[in-house]
Amino acid sequence: MAAASSILRSTFVSPCPQPNPRRPSKSPSRAFHPIKAAAADGPAALHQKNNRRPADENIRDEARRLSSSHNFSARYVPFGADPASTDEWYSLDEIVYRSRSGGLLDVQHDMDALKKFDGQYWRSLFDSRVGKTTWPYGSGVWSKKEWVLPGIASDDIVSAFEGNSNLFWAERFGKQFLGMNDLWVKHCGISHTGSFKDLGMTVLVSQVNRLRKMNKPVVGVGCASTGDTSAALSAYCASAGIPSIVFLPANRISISQLVQPIANGAFVLSIDTDFDGCMKLIREVTSELPIYLANSLNSLRLEGQKTAAIEILQQFDWEVPDWVIIPGGNLGNIYAFYKGFHMCRELGLVDRIPRLVCAQAANANPLYLHYKAGWKGDFKPVRANTTFASAIQIGDPVSIDRAVLALKNSNGIVEEATEEELMDATAQADSTGMFICPHTGVALTALIKLRRSGVIKPTDKTVVVSTAHGLKFTQSKVDYHSGAIKDIGSRFANPPVQVKPDYGSVMDVLKKYLLNKDSSSRK
């Protein structure tokens, strides 16, 4: 591509692609209406990138000064609808959550416009933005802005430079417990509020910020939450000065999760019901009041979450892993990962997608039961029982149809983990230097089961997605290692040893410990 190549040879890859004059361009679908959106750093501004910005100019001012336009666009369409048989679509600037038939919506991008640039161009463009502080491309989400929310001005974006999270080679865990040499953990919990929910919330709150500037009827943003969604929503709303309203199930989330929205100034309602009850209430409330719904029923969040899949490919230098294992509750994330991988294949960045595994807690496993039934018959919600993996304690997931499509199209698998299995897996992982959340323990349990059954081979490149930081769930770890969890054996507990305050007692204990370690290492 002549135009693309000339840009790539420069010292800075333009975040605003220019059409290739040698390639005949396909006309966008007539239903798309391209938005002349601000996209900082057009080619005309390339020479300016070699200069430092003025001392009185911040990075948002710089993005505004260097802005240029493009012809990328996106819109809402009914999820799963055949584009040839429906003319139903909505602007992203409309406040709409369901199709006319009551089904889910999906964000559809103008793929013809994106396909004017080949896979090598997109790979180089995305790679050029990693580790930069250029607004807004320092974010792992907004570094893929053209694929996320192309119609938004950079000036409207609300970002904490989320994403770009660690892809950790789990060398010891893989070798010691699974006989694997190529096991990786994608630590999405190493993020602004400690969970992957930041990836989607930056997109949703940015769009709300845009809508409010357009004088749309949006007073605040609300969500039902098992913890992490409310933390992300409250933080990003606080950053933009937008009121946030949170519905939490009383006594069902950790203190560290509860304190986050409180600290960020959210209006928190503690409701004596479970997540599904909170979800029902927030949907009713947002249909009557000018409160924008932030749950994953809103497909905007999935546009941000899909960038974690693109990021995994980037971190493997665009080599596709064999397996990606993702914890699942409301089930938006499994579809988001599928969508990210699928876009990369469709636009020529890679030639295949990985097999996906959705891991559920046995106490909240409606997708697992549907999968074991061969996807036959109507989906049956369940009443979710208490699980240490509280963020996926959901019995009636909103994104069930999205998840089924993702799994069918990726030759995917669903597995489950009991409370003992997930806590044991969490302890095993922690013993090798990680410090993971119980939801990651669910995903690791799925991996352990698939490895033992031979479905996942010793040499398969496998990624486990860690969705939240372990520091949010310290009480469950304390209870496990102190043996305080009823009906769980805590096989890998490592409680402190009580010792008398004298030299001889301390030496006796240490000698015994070192002797045991020495004999273990010789086996």
What pLDDT digit, counting tens, does each position of 282-300 carry? 999 999 999 999 987 899 9
Domains and their CATH numbers in the chain: 69-195+298-522 (3.40.50.1100)
Q: Is the pLDDT of residue 199 over 60?
A: yes
Percent of the chain whose predicted confidence (pLDDT) is above 70: 89
How wide is the angle at C-alpha 49 spanned by C-alphas 43 and 51, nearest 5°? 145
pLDDT of residue 352: 98
pLDDT digits (tens, 9 = 90+) for 392-448: 999 999 999 999 999 999 999 999 999 999 999 999 999 999 999 999 999 999 999
- 59 is written with which tokens? 């990075």
**Is the confidence at residue 233, as pLDDT, over 80?**
yes
For residues 299-311, average pLDDT:
97
pLDDT at 295: 84
Band of residue 26 on the pLDDT scale cut at 50, 70, 90:
very low
Q: Determine the Cα–Cα distance for residues 220 and 244; give it in Å rounded to an integer.
A: 6
The residue type found at 399 is S
Q: Report how far residue 228's alpha carbon sits from residue 382's, in angstroms, rounded to the nearest whole number.
A: 22
pLDDT of residue 3 exceeding 60, the answer is no
Q: What is the pLDDT of residues 469-483, one digit of tens each?
A: 999 999 999 999 999
Residue 345 has pLDDT above 50, yes or no: yes
pLDDT at 39 over 70: no
Predicted confidence at residue 196, as pLDDT, reads 96
Candidates 40, 39, 46; CA nearest to 11 is 46
In this prediction, residue 451 carries a pLDDT of 98
Q: Please write the tens of the pLDDT for every residue from 87-111.
A: 999 999 999 999 999 999 999 999 9
In this structure, the number of other CB atoms found within 10 A of the CB of residue 499 comes to 12
pLDDT tens-digit map of 236-278: 999 999 999 999 888 777 777 788 999 999 999 989 998 889 9
Q: Specify the range with the lowest mean pLDDT, choosing from 148-162, 224-238, 249-263.
A: 249-263
| Segment 326-343 mean pLDDT | 97
Identify the pLDDT of residue 523: 62
pLDDT at residue 7 greater than cutoff 70 = no
- Among the ranges given (24-33, 309-318, 490-499), the one the predictor scored with the smallest mean pLDDT: 24-33
Indicate if the pLDDT at residue 9 is higher than 50: no
Query: 272 to each of 254, 275, 278, 475, how far by Cα in Å?
Result: 15, 10, 9, 22
Q: Are 39 and 67 in contact (CB under 8 A)?
A: yes
Say how far apart CA 411 and CA 357 lie, in whole Å: 9
Specify the DSSP element, H or E, that contains 357.
Answer: strand 355-361
What is the pLDDT, as a whole number, of residue 522? 66
What is the structure's pLDDT at 478?
96
Residue 234: band (very low, low, confident or very high) from pLDDT cuts 50, 70, 90: very high
The per-residue pLDDT for 51 is: 63
Q: Which residues contact 43 (CB under 8 A, 6 or more apart)?
A: 7, 14, 16, 18, 68
Q: Nearest-CA neighbor of 204 among 180, 169, 233?
A: 233
The residues near 130 (Cβ < 8 Å, ≥ 6 apart) are: 143, 164, 314
Task: Quote the mean pLDDT of the chain.
Answer: 89
3-state secondary structure of 257: helix
Q: pLDDT tens digit string along 489-520?
A: 999 999 999 999 999 999 999 999 999 887 77
